[in-house]
Amino acid sequence: MNKSTNGWSREELTPRHSSYCREPTLFPMSLDALEAANCVSADELHRWHERGWLSFDPFKIERIDWGEEIEVRFVSDLARTSLSDAWIGKLLTSLPKPYCYSPDATFFSFSAKQWVTLPNKLDQAELTEECLAELAQNDDWDTLEWIRDRADELLEEKPDDESGASE
């Protein structure tokens, strides 16, 4: 498996659109609400659209759904950096449009010179299973035995009264 130094494969880090990118909402936002929620003016949104940073013109769009708000949040966060408009435009050209990427998970890595979207966080059971499988695949039996012994120790310390604990 082609893993990078941080433990994720290149495919796992490839930028991907938010799952809400093209999903309509039951209650679309007004332009006023979009401006207030993102501390940005319609004029600024229009300027971003003219520069190719937004896929929609705020003065011509009929409904503002989740995808448009996510796109505004993403571009707004980038526009609020100290980068020049030219640099922002240059960075965005390497990212597929529309720019409907989660601003909490997608960023430009200046050291790798590429956009990255962090994988969804695995729950602890999935993460543990992946780690154990990788240790077995690498024949790291000493570490697996240590994990088994440590798990046994913790299970022995488990309190007898488990009221309130969920299974």
Closest by alpha carbon to 72, among 50, 106, 49?
Answer: 49
For the chain, the domain total comes to 2
| Domain contains 161 | no
Per-residue pLDDT of the chain (167 residues; tens, 9 = 90+): 444 545 667 777 777 778 777 778 888 999 999 999 999 999 999 999 999 999 999 999 988 998 999 999 999 999 999 999 999 999 999 999 999 999 988 999 998 888 998 877 766 777 788 788 888 888 889 988 998 998 898 889 888 765 555 44
Report CA dihedral (45, 46, 52, 57) to the nearest 10 degrees.
100
Confidence (pLDDT) at 163 = 55
Question: Which residue segment(s) compose the domain that 64 sits in?
Answer: 10-117
Based on C-alpha coordinates, what's the Rg of the chain?
A: 23
Confidence (pLDDT) at 76 = 95
Helix, strand, coil percent values for the chain (each to nearest 5): 45, 5, 50
Does residue 77 sit in the same domain as residue 143? no
CB 135 within 8 A of CB 128: no
Does residue 111 sit in the same domain as residue 128? no
pTM score, whole prediction: 0.67
Does residue 90 sit in the same domain as residue 128? no
Confidence (pLDDT) at 118 = 85
Does residue 27 sit in the same domain as residue 94? yes
